Structure formats: structure tokens, C-alpha cells
Structure 1
């Protein structure tokens, strides 16, 4: 037998096994017999083996946050803060607010003599504290005219009646002074029932203080009760002044000043009160005169400007009182 014929298959099988051993971890190789024109694999430059990509571990899970601390450290930081938070003194007003309800609930759930008595004793403490504060407050207020409200408006009946009398006198004078320079613009409709009852009130205002009434009919028709029969037809004035409801009243001071009073029916007292307020806001009467018409004595008001008192001053009661008193002396009345 020819030795070459026997050895050739053996050599080929060895080469094939070697080739399979080299590429067993890669994709299956193409058989030499199917691609024999390429020659043996040692004639080629084999590509670098593909590295298997390991899944990356999320960095966010491994990295510790810059501001984070181990639990023990965090607990160690919180513990001193909890200890430094000062508890209110027992039986202080803050302590009573926090604990009185607890003692009440305890007495309701377990109404033993001790629990019920403990609640009522604490309630007695709170009431006695309130009574002590009331006495001190009355003394402080009566000793300081800036805090005593009776200086501004007396409470005694005889004094209150006198204040009301003075207010009516000054108000009448002010209203007559306003009437000498301003009139009432009265918008109405012939079919408006509220206009029908407002007209007699305006007639009283005209007779008592001398206000000139300027009636304007929105529908061009007179009122059936005969009041203000000499009226003007609306020629766009109502729309210009924003009239939406009737009766509509405006305080008018020639040549161009017009101040709204109301869009709706008012009593005589309401009309005069609004006239005085509108005149004060328009500068036709001064603030002192207006305050007197309200039955209130003219006194300095505590109106400190924003930022005029520093935070350090508010920490000392005496300094705070002095700062507020200075602002009252420098302040103006409304």
C-alpha cells in the first residue's frame, strides 16, 4: 500500500482538529473544502479576538454622594440638635398651651381624682396668669395716652354723646363747605325702582346742605314721582364714567374733578359719610377735620415706616417702646 496515500488523510484530519480547537470559542469556521481557494488559515492574518463587553456597574450606585454621610454620622449630627432644642419651662404659657389638652384628655380617658384634679389645677394656673396680665395691661394702658383708646373715643355715655354732637357739627360745616364747590351727578332710569326711592334722599341732601343735584336720565324719560323733572339726557357720560347700575352717584367739582360715590341706593347717612370720605381723599378737607367728623379725637398714630426699626431694637422691649413712641410723634394722622 502506498504510504503517502495513507498519511495524507491522517495529516488532513490533524490539521482540521487543530483548526477547530483554535476557533471553538468563536463563530463556526467555514470548511476548507467549501472555501479551498483561500488556502490554509496560516496564510491569513486572523482578526483580533472580540473582547466580551462586561456590563458596566452604574456609577451612581457605587459613588457616594458628596454630601451624604453614613447613617451613624447623620444620627450623631441630629442628636445634638434635638438636645439643644430647649423645652419650655413647666407651667409657662407655652408649656400650658402644649400640655393642657394632654391633661384634659388624660382626665377624660381615666377620670381618677388625681387626673381630674391635675387638669383643673393647671387650668387654674392659666386663669390666674391671665388675670394677672389683665390687671397689668389695664394699668399700662391707663398710664399711657397713646395706648388708652378712651383718649381717641370716650366710652362714658355722656362723653360719647358729646363726641357725637361735636362730630355732627363739624360734619355739617364740612358738608356745606363741600357743597359750595361741588355737586352730585345723579344717573337714573325712569323704570328703576331704586332710583325712585333715591331721589327723595338727594332732595333732602340738597335742602340740608345746599348740594346742587345734576340728574341725568339714561333712557331719556323722567321719573314717575316727579323728582328732578329738569334732567339731562345721557350723551355718553354714563359710559365714560363706567356706570353699570342705577342709581349712580358721583361727586363732581368743576371743572374736571369727578369722584365716584356709589352705584346703588344709599341712605342719607351713607351718602354724607361717603361725601366726606371722598372729599378727604381728594384733598378738599384735611385729615384732622375728617377725623373729627367721625367722632374721634385727633391723636398721633403709630405708623412707623418700613425698615425704620432694626431687628436689634425689637429684641429689647424698652428700646422697642421708645422707637414706636418716636414714630408716633413723627407720624401724621390719616
Structure 2
């Protein structure tokens, strides 16, 4: 067989094999599946979605621990061995020593008691040093401790008191309400002693009777004044101004010095005498060292806001000391 026939045979064989393959494929695609209709009517299977496997949720995180804040009104513990600590705990240690008197318990209490006494002694010593030389703290500035000096002050104050009583007597009188009791009788000579200063005495009898020895022959019988003045006890004494204002001095028996003092207080309270005049009757060397005019609570509020504890009002002692000294000096 020549080369041309061989080539033709090979070619024909390949062609037939290819055609059979194509025909078989066509039969499967069309001829054998023609009953399925046109392809656009065919329902193609929907693609299956891949379902992701659900992962288990992580366990919930443990809540953060809440910050514990102490109650607002809880008082912080006192510093051990401080005066506040001793004040709170000393009795408890004493009770422990009494209930269980071992050597250790008793010694512990006695140590703490000794500590308290030592602190008190230290405070007393420091107080002497702090007072000395400060006219606002040293009582010697107001009244000396020596007998000869106090006697002189008492004499001068007595003279001033006499002058002031004589002045008050010019514009006020004494109303003396009494009954027939023994207490009223013992008050009579003391009331009479006020006449030496020039006081006019109006004696008012509750039961319409004179005193035992008729010391006040011009006495008056009570006509309702005791009820108006709400008198509960006899004798009762009142300072009465020229315009009829009654100022009580006391209901009950009084000694002469007490009666004079109350009389001056009643006159001062009603501005019948001046504060300066009243201060002269005090047996004091100096009455101008009072801290009250210098220290007012309203003035220190700004200091508390800037330097102190706004809740307690406590200011550091050194800062408060500087503030007080500046006020005393008028700065």
C-alpha cells in the first residue's frame, strides 16, 4: 500500500472515530433528552449554600469587681496613743484589767493611764509658756494674783460701783413685793440698805400687812401688779425706770452684793448706763483684752475654704494661729 493510501486510511479512521464521538455526545445532549423541552423552561438545581458551622459563643466575661468605697460618714480610726485614741479606748483597757486582772492586763492599763497623765502634764507646761507675755491669754493682765494688788482693785471697783448706783438712783427706783413669810422678813434690811445710794423704795404688800418692824410705813397693798409681773415667789425685787418700765432683779432672797450686781446688770441691759461705766465696776485691771470683738465666724469662712476642712471646719493650728494673731493686731 503506498503512502498516500495509508494516509487516507488513517485520516478516515480518525474522522470516523471523531464523528462517532460527536454523534454520541449529540445524542446524549439533544436527541435522547428532547422530551425535556427548551432549556429555558428547565429548572436548574439551585446551588446549595454552604452553611457555616456555628461556632459556640465565648463565655461571658466575669464582671469587674466593684470598687468598694467607705461610707461617707465613717470616721477614720484615731492615731494610736493620741489623745482621741486614749479617750475612746482607755476605759475599755480598764474594764479588761478589772474583769481579767492579769499582770499584763493591769500593766497595760496603767501604762496608758500614765501616758494620759504625762500628756496632761506636758500640756500644762506648754500652756504656761504660751500664756506668759500674751495679754489676751495671761490672767495677770486682767486681775493680778497678789493680795495687795487685788485689794486695791476691789477698792477702786467699789468706788466706781457706788458712783454708778447713785447715778442709777436718780432715774430709777426699787419695787419690793413681800408677804408675811420669814424669807420676806430677812430681805427687808437688805432692801433698806439700798436707800444709802439714794434709791426710792416702794414696798408692796401681798396680804395688805406691814413688815414685822414696819420698816416701810408707806407700803402699798398689791392691786394686781404681782399677777401682771408673773411673780411666783416672795420676796421679789424689780428695778423701775421713771417712765414705768419694770426690770426684774430676782424672785427670792438675795444678799446685798448679789442684789447690787443684779441691779447694775438690769440697768446695763436697758442702756440706762453705758458699757464703759459698767466695766469700771468690775475688779479687773484690764477689760480690753476680750477676743470676741476680734474673732467673728463670718471672717474665717474664706480661710476654711482655702486652708481647712470644709466638712468639719478644722484648720491647721499653725495657720489658725497666724490668722488669730493678725486679727488681734488689726491687720
Correspondence for 2:159: 169
Residues 1:133 and 2:89 aligned together: no
Question: 1:245-284 alignment to 2 at 5 Å?
Answer: 245-284=233-272
Distance across 2 between alignment mates of 1:157 and 1:197: 33
Distance across 2 between alignment mates of 1:192 and 1:85: 59
Match of 1:111 among 102, 109, 126: 102
Match of 2:211 among 212, 223, 233: 223
Distance across 2 between alignment mates of 1:261 and 1:329: 39
- Judged with a 3 Å threshold, the aligned counterparts in structure 2 of structure 1 residues 100 and 249 are, in CA distance, closer, same or farther, namely closer
**1:219 Cα deviation (Å)?**
3.0
- Judged with a 3 Å threshold, the aligned counterparts in structure 2 of structure 1 residues 242 and 106 are, in CA distance, closer, same or farther, namely closer
**1:110 Cα deviation (Å)?**
5.9
Which piece of structure 1 moves more, 168-177 or 90-99? 90-99
CA contact (8 A) 1:142 1:148 kept: yes
CA contact (8 A) 2:135 2:289 kept: no
Q: Structure 1: any 5+ residue segments left out of the alignment?
A: 1-69
**1:192 Cα deviation (Å)?**
3.2
**1:101 Cα deviation (Å)?**
5.3
Distance across 2 between alignment mates of 1:133 and 1:140: 10
Helix, strand or coil at the partner of 1:307: helix
Distance across 1 between alignment mates of 2:315 and 2:219: 65
Correspondence for 1:295: 283
Correspondence for 2:139: 149
Distance across 2 between alignment mates of 1:104 and 1:220: 65
- Judged with a 3 Å threshold, the aligned counterparts in structure 2 of structure 1 residues 230 and 321 are, in CA distance, closer, same or farther, namely same
Q: For each residue in 1:287-323, what CA deviation from the matched residue of structure 2 results, as whole angstroms up to 9, or x when unmatched?
A: 2332332323312322233332122355232332243
Q: CA RMSD in A?
A: 3.4
TM-score by length of 1: 0.64
Q: For each residue in 1:23-68, what CA deviation from the matched residue of structure 2 results, as whole angstroms up to 9, or x when unmatched?
A: xxxxxxxxxxxxxxxxxxxxxxxxxxxxxxxxxxxxxxxxxxxxxx
CA contact (8 A) 1:167 1:293 kept: yes
Correspondence for 1:193: 182
Which piece of structure 1 moves more, 128-137 or 168-177? 128-137
Question: 1:311-330 alignment to 2 at 5 Å?
Answer: 311=304, 312=307, 314-325=314-325
- Judged with a 3 Å threshold, the aligned counterparts in structure 2 of structure 1 residues 212 and 103 are, in CA distance, closer, same or farther, namely closer
- Judged with a 3 Å threshold, the aligned counterparts in structure 2 of structure 1 residues 250 and 146 are, in CA distance, closer, same or farther, namely same
**1:103 Cα deviation (Å)?**
5.6
Considering only CA atoms, is the larger Rg found in Structure 1 or Structure 2? 2
Helix, strand or coil at the partner of 1:243: coil
Distance across 1 between alignment mates of 2:248 and 2:175: 9
Helix, strand or coil at the partner of 1:186: strand
**1:100 Cα deviation (Å)?**
5.0
- Judged with a 3 Å threshold, the aligned counterparts in structure 2 of structure 1 residues 223 and 98 are, in CA distance, closer, same or farther, namely closer
Correspondence for 2:37: none
Aligned length: 255
